[in-house]
Structure 1
């Protein structure tokens, strides 16, 4: 079956004829003689569409349309009438009908409308599933959204490293989500119940850096009127995240190295050693090896920090993630402001995919919030210079991934959904690095 359709018509002959046409085309059909019967079959999670006659005793098709859209405003409803006057068609479309078909009509006209409506419904249901999935805080996909191969690879790396005690260096451009990755390494590991302590090394004045990192005793220096627990000690048992670690003063790099080697620290103004158990996750924008060569970073500390390295791909290298991320952040912003995010037009989507996003996800979040507030059309000024072919490739990869995910790796179903011959589909999957096995349900055999 390729989709579910509810057919509503009080005339049995027409109802049965339409049902037969749709069933012969592979659709699962529920035939109803009244609006009440149809309403009993529909809820917000109904995965299909409704085809209804307009002229019916009791509740007519326009009244049924209103009731259905109260249940789910995104449900496609196709209305059919033998009295196809233009005012009625306009009224139906204004009320939210997906399409309006006049009797007599050919099976081809109905099937074309049904297929398009079901495609729209599939996208709506898939987007809802993605949003529901993102609400599950105990899944890494909720914290690191993305359908691209680079993001799938990054999530796998995080899950593997989260279970280990090794220190990790996170590399990535400005706004790419380095702290989010660090947080996932903490949240999905055995230290999740312990503190996650973040420190931006570039934002702390050098004069107070030692006190901030290691703490101090009362009277340790002028103004130190009370004992203070430093960030390292506060992170005992958990994770210390050092953002922009390249900004740490050399003098404090030496002391941090000693903490990592000896697993003890001394507060400023004290000779007492305090045992600490922590994992250190660092983040840097520049190549720290270059910083070592320039004399701005200690080589021995670098080797302590980069036992494992995670590289976050910039947004321009995973363009197929842009629509999902934009929709997610726009929905979040709309909810915060008590409104609904306006839908993206094809032109706006093309601009999103064509933009270079130098500020990465942080810039995308800002554009999504402005879009949710109706302040501007996304994205901000700037263009990647990518050719049309390159942008179409990114969009094609996203469409293939979504189809494979929806069909759970069923190649025949993907061929039907995308209207592609098998050879073409195989070539496109190979070009985009997509494997059917990655989409099969758990426990499925690998036979095509």
Structure 2
């Protein structure tokens, strides 16, 4: 049972955004790691330092070690503060996170950079659950993802959600809408939107398909070669492959150890010039914002493998895309974007998409944990900082509106 709010017993930490930025810029994190390890060995380390050490380990490629440290820290402390640079916080935000790797919770710190918002992060774990007395805050937001590792945390938050004492954004019961196989069913009949069926397939099913014992339609009606496959539960392109025929599928399975996969029909979304353009949108309170456009001669694009930093021509096109976004891309797909946002129902989420060869909005995936940041060099990407600040301002304004709305209601009730 949730009790009235109380002064928070938090542990301060350096934080996700600061440490990730240092790693992105090539700062050597070894000295900091050694200092934190020494404090742990001496028995003088604070909980926030332990969580920072966990993140440093993950940033340095030591994921398993980092997660062990994180779980140990969370076994005795759940609440952490990332201070604001402002002398006095203008708003207190409580982020509800899960005990998962660094990519499994919304990297909300980036969205709050430069604001007067104080961020408290409460980790909801199976063993500790939610505290009976919540820390004082003005607005809360669920930052745990739709991954299987977060299901227990989301269930605990969902149970408490009806009695939450402050506005609660990205409500836990809606996070599951972002699952790959659920998103298709949610968006499939929106006019002007194309989203391939993403179906779960076991290794046994795919082995039978590769051997010719079953047909594609026995997995899902619209599936055919060429198809896209990826191991279930993976992100950032891990294990993603385009399979042109049964032989390619057999070779793919021989290289993978996983037992469960997602499969979908391949969509050739190349533009007339032969290049692929993959777009990341940030949806804030129902409004789309351009986050980036990656341009490459390959279908499996991520911003890094598009090598945008090495092409002035690509960057010029991305700059125009951002500059004209509201009256061009967003206007062309306004009805599809509006309906997608309404059906997903989340206050904040990210969409990776493109335009198919019929001019429709082609949706690849949506989630609430993709990194939206302002770390790119302003010298190489001078058009990006203003766009990122626009997104950050929209996000912080949404938080303020929601908190203010409840405050005004309270005042009205008291009157």
TM-score (norm 2): 0.27
TM-score (norm 1): 0.26
Larger radius of gyration between Structure 1 and Structure 2: 1
Q: Which has the higher contact order (CA 8 A, sep 6+)?
A: 2
Bigger fraction of residues in helix: 1
